[in-house]
Chains A and B, each alone.
Chain A
Amino acid sequence: MKNLLLIGLVSITSTASTAALASGHSMPVADAWSNITWDKTAKDMPKGDYARGEKLESYGLCITCHGEQGIAPTRNAPNLAGNTALYTYKALMDYQSGLRNEGNGKASVMHAATTPMSKQDMADLAVYYAAQKLPAPTGHYTPPANIKKLVTKGDVSRMITPCASCHGVHGEGRDITPALAGQVPAYFIRTMEAYKHGKRTNDIHEGMAQFTQDLTDAEIQGLAEYYANLMPKHPSHPAGKE
């Protein structure tokens, strides 16, 4: 726990400066979330309108990179289908405020894409994407024992709690903890690396980053494969069918 607290302290000071140094481009400096400020924000989230979200998917050009119904066509963009509404809502807010910037230029398109959005727009998109479904994974995959253990049991010696305890046994996510089942592996890896290297700092009190510090690159790769191959709780097609 010592480890964790220490990192937590460091992170508070580093969050603001990361944003400030983000780039020569104009990325605003945003305040980090506390549990209190986030809880209030989540409570005040407008009721999302599915139909408006569906329109905004095209009008807002989300569909260009994130694909139809939030199923990403390349390894560049994450799948948005089936993620929790709160996670998507928070991600959009954090891109808009500049809190999620991931270093020079790495999130500037999402910052631009969210700049015109109102909170209502974000809620609409969040609700729309939460209702979309990812296809069942194809192909055969057997998780290596060490990866399976990290997911279900964690690693006490490194104070890594099991991924499933927050992200769910189906990788379905909960509230602001994102769904991971079926996620694009390249996106998964770079997200974990960004957390690990202190470049992604929009989690509350390093709620995620703390678990990435001690993961090896090979473990991150293994987890990416595990989750890419995990059956979503509600797939759009049953396994084996397209």
Chain B
Amino acid sequence: MKKLLLISAMTGLTCLLQAPASFALTGGLTLEQEAKVRSEYPMPSGAMLGDNCSACHGTKGAEFNEAMPPLAGMDKQKFIKQMKIYRANKFPSIVMYDVARVFSDEEIEAMADFFAKQKPEEWTLPNWNASIKGNAKENSHE
């Protein structure tokens, strides 16, 4: 984080990427440097990449919430197409360009395979409780 702050202090000068209609600063490795680091080691597995999504999309991408769509059970080609659209920064997004920009084609495909295999969760009935206890109870029938 120290480094992040340092870089953010300099972003006025070093920020090169101006995303269309996006109001963002970039920092740390450039995408070229990132790709170089990435190429030096074997690709992380689809599960390793995909499990990073769970804090927003739920365990194994199964959460069916309003803001973040479920990824579990998503058609492979649809997933790939959509991630590449985000990565290309074709239009403004809430965070998905920021997230997708670092992935290689192979990584996107590995994640697509990983999520296509997962069991989707159904939309929980709308009277679910905000607290986890409510959630747990409501999901217990699944």
A and B touching (Cβ–Cβ under 8 A): yes
Which residues of chain A have a CB within 8 Å of any CB of chain B?
23-24, 58-59, 61, 63-65, 68, 73-77, 102-110, 186, 189-190, 193-194, 197, 199-200
Q: Looking at the complex, which of B1-9, B41-49, B104-112, B126-134 is the stretch in contact with chain A?
A: B126-134
Contact partner of A104 among B21, B74, B91, B128, CB < 8 A? B128
B130 in contact with A104 (CB, 8 Å): yes
CA distance in complex: A189, B120 (Å): 15
Which residues of chain B have a CB within 8 Å of any CB of chain A?
21, 64-70, 74, 78, 81-82, 85, 90-94, 96, 123, 125-130
B66 in contact with A107 (CB, 8 Å): yes
In the assembled complex, which residues on chain B have CB atoms less than 8 Å from the CB atom of A108? 66
B82 in contact with A74 (CB, 8 Å): yes
A197 in contact with B125 (CB, 8 Å): yes
In the assembled complex, which residues on chain A have CB atoms less than 8 Å from the CB atom of B125? 103, 193, 197, 199
CB distance from A189 to the nearest CB of B (A): 8
CA distance in complex: A102, B128 (Å): 10
A64 in contact with B66 (CB, 8 Å): no
The residue on B at minimum CB distance from A197 is: B125
CA distance in complex: A111, B34 (Å): 38
A-B contact pairs, 9 of them (CB 8 A): A58-B21, A63-B92, A68-B85, A104-B126, A104-B127, A104-B130, A105-B130, A193-B125, A199-B126
CB distance from A70 to the nearest CB of B (A): 13
* Smallest CB-CB A-B distances: 9 pairs: A103-B126, A76-B69, A74-B69, A199-B126, A190-B123, A64-B93, A102-B126, A73-B82, A109-B67
A193 in contact with B123 (CB, 8 Å): yes
